[in-house]
Amino acid sequence: MEFEKVIVHVLDCEHNNCITSVSCMENMSVETEKMLLSKAEKVFQNAGRKKAIFKEESTMKKRLAELKEEKLSFEECSEQIANIIFEKKMQYALYQSSDLVIAILKKEGRRYFLVLDNSYMEGITHNLQVNENGSVNEIVPCFGLLSANLVKQDRAFLVELSDFSIHCVENKVEIEGEKVNFMADIILQSNANPSYKETFKCLSKVSEAVSEKYDLDEVEIVPKMKSMLVDSASMQQSLSVDDVAQVLFSSPLAQADFKEEIKKQGIPEKIEMEYVKPAKAEKVQKIKTDKGIEIIIPVDYMNSKEYVEFRNHPDGTISIQLKNITHITSK
Instruction: Map 5-69 to HEC letters.
Output: EEEEEEEEHHHCEEECCCCCCCCCCHHHHHHHHHHHHHHHHCCCEEEEEECCCCHHHHHHHHHHC
Residue 104, pLDDT above cutoff 80: yes
Show me where the domains of the chain are located. 2-122+150-192, 197-322
Lowest pLDDT segment from 93-107, 136-150, 315-329: 136-150
How do strand 166-169 and strand 155-160 relate by DSSP bridges?
Answer: antiparallel
Cα–Cα distance measured from residue 197 to residue 176, given in angstroms and rounded to the nearest whole number: 25
Query: What's the pLDDT at 312?
Result: 79
Residue 256 has pLDDT above 90, yes or no: yes
Q: Summarize the confidence of residues 224-245 as an average pLDDT.
A: 87
How many CB atoms sit inside 10 A of residue 239's CB?
A: 19
What whole-number percentage of the chain has pLDDT above 90?
A: 49
pLDDT at 42: 87
74-83, 142-151, 189-198, 269-278: segment of lowest average pLDDT: 142-151
pLDDT at res. 126: 79
Neighbour count for residue 194 (Cβ, 10 Å): 18
For the ranges 86-95, 131-140, 213-222, 248-257, the lowest mean pLDDT is seen at: 131-140
Quick one: average pLDDT of 284-300? 81
Rounded CA-CA distance 79/10 in Å is 11
**What value does the mean pLDDT of the chain take?**
88
pLDDT tier for residue 124 given thresholds of 50, 70 and 90: confident
CA 278 to chain centre: 11
- Top pLDDT among 262 and 290 is at 262
pLDDT computed for residue 315 by the predictor = 86
* Between 170 and 278, residue with greater pLDDT: 170
Mean pLDDT score, 69-80: 96
| Predicted pLDDT at 249 | 94
Per the model's pLDDT, the better-predicted residue between 108 and 330 turns out to be 108
Residue 62 has pLDDT above 80, yes or no: yes
Q: Please give the Cα distance from 185 to 123 (Å, whole number).
A: 32
d(CA 200, CA 19): 40
Q: Torsion angle of alpha carbons 53, 57, 63, 65, nearest 10°?
A: 60
Rounded distance, CA 156 to CA 93, Å? 19
The pTM assigned to this predicted structure is 0.79
Question: If pLDDT is split at 50, 70 and 90, which confidence band does 278 have?
Answer: low
Residue 125 is predicted with a pLDDT of 79
Residue 60 or residue 320, greater confidence: 60
Residue 281: predicted pLDDT: 66
